[in-house]
Structures are given as structure tokens and as C-alpha cells.
Amino acid sequence: MEVVITAVTTIVGAALGAAFQQLFDGVIKANRKATKFNSVFGDLNLTLQSYQELVKDIEQVENFQPLQGLDGFKTKMEEGIQLVDKCSNIHPLQLKINFFKKKKYVGKLRALDGSLKQLFLILKWQVDNNLRNRVSDLQRSVDRIDRNVVAQNRTENQIRGWCVVPNPPSFTVGLDEPLKDLKMTFLNDDQVSMLVLTAPGGCGKTTLAQLFCRDEEVKEKFKKNIFFVTVSEKPNLDRIVAELYQSTGSQVPAFQNEANALCWLQEFLIETGQNPLLLVLDDVWDGSSESLLLDKCHEFKNPNYKILVTSRFYFQRFRPSYKLRPLNDKDALSLFRDTTSLEDSEFVIPTVLVTKTVKLCQGFPLAISVIGKDLCNQPAEIWERRVIELSKGSSILDSEKFLLNRLQSSLDALGKGLALVKECFIDLGSFPEDRRIPAATLIDMWSELYGLDLDYLSIAFLHDLSSRSLANLIVIRKPSLNNLIITRNAKEDANGYYNEHFVTQHDILRSLAIHQTGHDPTGHSKRLNIDIRKDDIPNWWSEHKQKPKKTRLLSISTDGAFSSKWHNMHLPKAEVLVLNFQTKNYAFPKFRKMSKSLKVLIVTNYGVIPAEVSNFTSLGSLSELKRIRLERISVPSITKNSIQLNSLQKISLFMCNIRRAFSNGSFKFFKAFPSLKEINIDYCNDMMELPADIRLLIHLKKLSITNCHKLSALPEMIGELVNLEVLRLRSCTDLSELPSSVRKLEKLKVLDISNCYSIKELPEHIGEMCCLEKLNMRQCSRLQELPESILDLETLTDVICDEETKGLWEPYLPLLSNHIQIRLVKEEINLDWLQMLHS
């Protein structure tokens, strides 16, 4: 063990190594002496001894440099030394008499064991990466483990991916030979630095690229130097280059223009490409920005560089290219059988009918999947009808148009009974291509458009779309700072928390949705999508006859070159307005005609950093506005001029900069939004406090503050929110306590403090919350005991815990009524998230 201690000292420096040695000696001594703690000391001993293999790895590292940024672990070890010493000197009789005292110390020892596991996972990961000559990158990784930095940086990583290779579909066919070809003509040929993989939409280009990146031979060659970037039809080169820098933990440069961003791309490739590098540019279109990007990448002629491009376009000037063809009959049939689950169907489908249906899909995997899902477990009569529908149209049409026609039949097959599912599908075309759409955004939209006032109804429609392969509903789980990264058990229900739910959609399906949008008669459009490039307002807008006077859903998307000059553009009346932009500065348009019609406003900045938005005062004219959602917006400008939205019922702030707005006292929540019923604040990393006058919002029913890691305290008088039913404080890692006034929240039904690991105790009189039904206290690792008043929570039926917090309830179980369910949500510690930082 002395060798292990020496090795740890080498990694983290003498101070932490000395603390480690003292702690280890204390555990050995206590394990012999404190018999009442034998079990937990045994676990500690195993933890300390389980890293013998670390020594073998360290011996392979030359000139290993001690890393900084682990002071927090040093403090925990020093506290652990005192704790172990104290436990070893407690007389066994004291513990026998005082059961709660023993429980308290057992909890503390388990927390210490968890901290040690966390430390060694980091050390092991650091050593592994040093073996790949990544010392400088590892230093930045350890710096980011500081919880405030992690809290800020992990946001973009979890929501946008940071160039990590997406998982391919679980079932693929017809790609084994193309994968072999790619490896032969691209991977093993030093003369080929860039290859364009081309095919029509829906043929599986992206899937093949994903499989290529995850191939063992490819991973062995490029190690972790593999980057996967989605370019799409309207690329933001600033974002693309920024994400590449973020993926390695490097500081993001400031970009003046596209040319400057491309220069930084060149610097990135030179710096990162010291070792073999693979860069995938997925879904590249034929446009000016895209061409600049490919030109810059094509300039690099280095055996270490490999750049794989996927595109539905054939670029004549970039050679070589590889054309991916549709599936052959055998593979198409195999995919179709898997999608339709024919072997498990309760109906017997004639083989000739299956063959006919597959042939009509013409080998397009996307068409096969969509149509196969529709026909899954359907009787033969439905199959016959679908064959007739698919047979309409000409097979001579080009593949793109053919696919749109074929997918159209899947929409038509929804029928009147599922008409609302079709409407929801078409609404997805109102968002930019290749972007994850937050489910929370759709919930806000559909609450007004279709009267879906209950959030789970909107999620149910998303499940309908996903089950028919018309969209993908994904849940992105956030990492626990206490355990680095967790994989949550699916048994933990969302309970109205949908900030981790997102929707993605294939480009072809988005095209289909947009195609449906254009079917409304001019002037009476249900939806209107306006796409503005630079400052070029669409030509049809200047023609008075074609201006729609009214629409239900209006979406306006602008690119990174938009100057925010609206040129007196008068927008039609709309109930829902979606604004998508990419610029660092943005101005709201004038809402003259919308003043009495607009109910929902969604504002999303797709740029790298929160954007400054001006003309906030124009919101004051929206007298009927009920919901507003701002994403990546810097909110301080809202305080410059007062606004008052008397009808606003819900406000959502996602990844916004709001510190100055909330902390300087100039912004009065109650005065601006007196009728608020719901507040959602997520990933606002600079927020340190809530406005004190939030207590005056007597109509407020839901207060959700999640992933705001600098929030250290709640307003003391929060108990005055007498109608509050949901208080969610998930992953507010600096929050140290709940105000004692929460006892007054007599209507509160749900309390979520999961991942609030700085909370050391619950309010003494929490038992006065007479309506509390659900309590989520997972990963509250510093919580050592529960107040006795929990026995008064007569309405409590559901408590969600991890192994540590569940132990706090055990002394009370004999006294609690049988209707309380203590649910254990198991979590697995792994390093996938850390690996994703450097993929």
C-alpha cells in the first residue's frame, strides 16, 4: 500500500498524498478497534486498497506532473481523518444506547467513502489520458471539476453535444460493406485526407458515419481525437468552431466574422492534430458558408488528418467521394421485418404483401422505418390499403420527391382520430434544422394552440410521434456533481419535470412538415414560417396581396448575419410567435398587430453565448401574453425600462444571464408579472439569488429552479407563497438550506431537492407541510439526519432516495404509515461524461 500512496502523492502533490496516507493508517487502526463500525470501515478499507492497478499505469507515465484543483478533496480527507479518529474512540455502549448517534456516524462514513471513490475515478481517468500524452488537456479537465466551472461548462455539453459522436440506431443493416469500403479507401490510404460520403436524404449517411467513428480499428487509430459536427443547411461557423474548442476544454476564441472563425479552425486543427485526428462534418449543404468550410478543411494535406463529410450533394471539386446507395431487397426486407416486428404480430401477413410494401419503399431506410412502424401489429386489410396508397405517384420521380410522397401517405394514414398528432408533427417544422427542440417549448405552444393545459398531454403526443418514427423523443440526463455522472434508473418518473426532454427530427421529415405548412390557403395560414438570410426580407412579403393577415403560429428564423433591422416589417396577428436567431445582439420586432392576439412568445438564441436583446419594452404592448420562454438571452436589459404584463402566467428562463437583473433590486417581479402561476429557471449559471418580492406572487403554483449552481439561498419569506404546489430545486449545488418559512407552504404537494448536496439538514418543522405528497431527496449526500417532524407528514406517499438517503428513513419506518413508499433509485458511476468532454 505504501507504493500506492507514493503513486497518489506523485499525481496530486505532497499535501494530498500525506492526507491520504494518514487517512489510510487511521482506517486500518479503526477497523481493528471500532467493532460497531466494522461494515462501513471494511468498505473504506476496500476502497483504499482497490487501486493497486493504478500503480502499474503510473509506472508507464514519464515525467508525470502533479495536477492542481483538488483542494476540495484534500479538505474532505482531513475531515475524514478526524471522523475516523472520533468513531474509533466512541465507546460501543454509547452506540448501543443511542441508535440515532450510530446512524449519524455511519452516514458520514459512507459519504467519506463516496468522496474517495469519486477522487480515484478522477485520478484513474487522468492517468489513462496521460498515457495518451494529454497532460495539458487533463489539467483543464480537473479545473472544470470545480463545481461552479462544471456547472457552467456542462450545460452546452449536455444540451448540444460538444462534438461527441451520437449513438447509431440499435439495429442497422446493409452498412457492413460500405463500412469496409470506407476503411479501405479512406482510413488506410494516407493520400486521402478528406472524403465526401454522399446519398439522398434518408439513405443512412449519418448512421454510416457514426458506425465508422465507433469502429474499433478507427477508435484505436484516433484514440479520443474524434470530433462529430452537424453542419446543416444554415451553418453557424462561429458555433461550429466554438464547439470544437469547447470539446477539448480550450478557451473559446472571439470571432469577428466567418473568415476569422475559419482561421481559428485552422489553428484548432494544427494544435489538436499533433496526434491522428478524425473530424466528421455531417449534413453539409451546397452553399457559400459550407463551401468555405470545406475549402478550409481541404487545404490540410496531412496523413494525421482525416475529414469525413456527409452530404446529399455531390461536390465535384472535392475528391474522392463515396456514394451510399439504397438498401438492396434482402437488407430492406430485414429492416422492414425488424421495424414491423412481424414475428411477434398477432396477425398473419402474406409474404407477397410484405414484399410489395418493401419494394414501394425503394430501399430508403427512413421510409422503411416510418411505414414499418405504422403497419406494426396491423391486420392484413390495413396493409392492403397502405399498398394502394403507396402505389399512387410515379416511381420515375427523383428520390427526394419520391420519399416525400411516400412519407406523405404515413401522415394521411393517421386519419381523423389522430388529426392532432398530425398537427403537432407539422408544428415541428417551425424550428431550425438539426436542432434539438426542448419539449418545454412545445408544451408552451400546444397549451395555447390545442388547449393542452396539462404538460403530460403534450409529452403524450410526442410519444405518439416517436412511436411512428415521425420524430425522436430523447431524455438527456444531467450529471450529478457528487458522483461525476449518473445513469438514472428509468423507474424515476418525471413528475412534471420535462426540462431534460428534447425532440429531434430527420431533415426529410422536417421537409415534410414544412411541405404541409404550405397547404393552407393564402391569407388564412395556420402556420407561417419566415426565413431571413442576412437582411433580405422575403420577396413575397413586399407584395401586399400575399401578406397573410392572421396566423396561429408564426415562426421567424434569422442567420448570423442578420442586423436586427426589421425595415418596418409589420407582422401579422398570431397566437404563438417563435423567434430563432444566431446573432450576439438582437432586437425584438414591433408587435403592433399582435398586441391583443399573442398568447405565447418563444425566443431562442442558437449562438454560442447569451445574446444581448434590446427593445424589451415592446413586450409591454402584449396585453394578452400568457407564456414567455427565453433561451440563451442576457436579461439585464429588461431592467432598463419597466414593463408590466398583467396576463403573464408562466415565464421560463433557460441558460440565460440574469444575475444583474435579479441582484441589483431594480427589477420587481411582482410589479412586472403580478399574475404569474409558474416560474421555470434552468441552467442560469450566474444567478445567485431570487428577487425578494417573489414572495408577493400569491397566485404562484409552481417554482422550478434547476441546475443553477450558484444559488446559495432562497428568500427567507418564501413561505408567503401560500398557493405554491410544486417547489423544485434540483441540482442547485450551492444551496445550503431551506428557509424555515417553508413550513407555511400548506398547499405544497411536491418538493424536489435532488442533487442539492450542500443541504445539511431539513427544516425542523417540515412536518407542518400538511399537503406534501412527494419528496425527492436523491443525492443529498451531506444530509445526515431527518427531523422528527417528518412523522407528521400524513399525506406523504412517495419518497425518492439513493442508498445513503434511504438509510436516514430506516429508524422511522416502524412509526410511519404503510402508505408511504420509499423508492430507491440506483445510480451507476461511470466516466462517459468525462470522456465526452474530450471526444
pLDDT in tens, 392-451: 654 433 455 666 776 777 777 777 778 888 899 999 999 988 788 999 999 999 999 998
Contacts of 485 (CB under 8 A, 6+ apart): 479, 829, 830, 831, 832, 833, 834
Q: 657: burial class by Cβ within 10 Å (0-12, 13-18, 19+)? A: buried
Q: Which three cell numbers stand for residue 607?
A: 449562438
| Residue 665 backbone class (left: φ over 0; alpha: ψ -120 to 50; beta: rest) | left
Contacts of 165 (CB under 8 A, 6+ apart): 210, 213, 214, 226, 228, 280, 839
Complete edge-to-edge strand list for the sheet that includes strand 501-504: 437-438, 501-504, 472-475
Region 712-831: CATH code: 3.80.10.10
Contacts of 836 (CB under 8 A, 6+ apart): 157, 162, 164
Contacts of 391 (CB under 8 A, 6+ apart): 360
**Is this structure's pTM higher than 0.95?**
no
Q: Which residues pair with 613 in a beta bridge?
A: 586
Q: Which three cell numbers stand for residue 295?
A: 475549402
User: What's the pLDDT score for residue 772?
Assistant: 94
Q: Are the CB atoms for 262 and 235 separated by under 8 Å?
A: no
State the chain's maximal CA–CA distance in angstroms: 91
Pairing of strands 573-581, 550-558: parallel
Structure confidence by residue, pLDDT tens digits, 355-390:
988 888 878 888 888 888 888 888 988 888 888 877
Q: Please report, in angstroms and rounded to a whole number, the separation of the first and last CA atoms in the chain.
A: 34
User: What's the pLDDT score for residue 545?
Assistant: 52
Q: Are the CB atoms for 644 and 668 separated by under 8 Å?
A: no
Q: Are the CB atoms for 724 and 745 separated by under 8 Å?
A: yes
What value, to the nearest 5°, has the Cα angle with vertex 626 and ends 528 and 729?
Answer: 115
Q: CA 476, CA 453: separation in Å to the nearest integer?
A: 24
Neighbours of 68 (CB within 10 A): 11
Neighbours of 800 (CB within 10 A): 22
Q: Which three cell numbers stand for residue 408?
A: 406523405
Q: Which three cell numbers stand for residue 464?
A: 405518439
User: What's the pLDDT score for residue 500?
Assistant: 85
Three-class secondary structure of residue 647 per DSSP: coil
Q: CA 663, CA 102: separation in Å to the nearest integer?
A: 43
Contacts of 598 (CB under 8 A, 6+ apart): 574, 575, 576, 577, 591, 622, 624, 625
Place of cell 423507474: 491
Low-confidence ranges of the chain (pLDDT < 50): 1-5, 7, 51-52, 55-56, 59, 64, 66-69, 97, 131-161, 394-398, 479-492, 522-523, 637, 639, 828-839
User: What's the pLDDT score for residue 774?
Assistant: 94
Per-residue exposure over 444-474, b if at least 16 CB sit within 10 Å of its own CB, e if not: bbbbbbbebeebeebbebbebbbebbbbebe
Measured torsion, CA atoms of residues 79, 81, 82, 88, in degrees rounded to the nearest 10? 140
Three-class secondary structure of residue 218 per DSSP: helix
Contacts of 594 (CB under 8 A, 6+ apart): 571, 573, 574, 577, 622
Q: Are the CB atoms for 360 and 390 separated by under 8 Å?
A: yes
Neighbours of 326 (CB within 10 A): 20
Orientation angle between helical segments 147-160 and 237-247, nearest 10 degrees: 130
**CATH 3.80.10.10 in the chain, residues?**
712-831
Q: CA 794, CA 773: separation in Å to the nearest integer?
A: 9
**CATH 3.40.50.300 in the chain, residues?**
160-323
User: What's the pLDDT score for residue 469?
Assistant: 74
Q: CA 285, CA 9: separation in Å to the nearest integer?
A: 52
How many residues are recorded in the chain?
839
Report CA-CA distances (Å) from 26 to 80, 83, 535. Answer: 9, 10, 70
Percent helix, strand and coil across the chain, each rounded to 5? 45, 15, 40
Q: 658: burial class by Cβ within 10 Å (0-12, 13-18, 19+)? A: buried
Q: Which three cell numbers stand for residue 734?
A: 450551492
CATH superfamily of 160-323: P-loop containing nucleotide triphosphate hydrolases (3.40.50.300)
Q: CA 753, CA 320: separation in Å to the nearest integer?
A: 55
Q: Are the CB atoms for 308 and 195 separated by under 8 Å?
A: yes
Q: Which three cell numbers stand for residue 390?
A: 403507396
Report CA-CA distances (Å) from 271 to 67, 105, 238, 296. Answer: 22, 50, 18, 15
Contacts of 518 (CB under 8 A, 6+ apart): none
Q: CA 340, CA 373: separation in Å to the nearest integer?
A: 6
Q: CA 307, CA 498: separation in Å to the nearest integer?
A: 37
Report CA-CA distances (Å) from 340 to 386, 410, 481, 501, 743. Answer: 14, 14, 41, 26, 54
DSSP 323: E
User: What's the pLDDT score for residue 699?
Assistant: 93
Q: Taking Cα atoms as reference points, which of 117, 116, 123, 146 lies closest to residue 9?
A: 123
Q: How far is CA 663 from the centre of its chain?
A: 28
Q: CA 689, CA 821: separation in Å to the nearest integer?
A: 34
Place of cell 484513474: 124
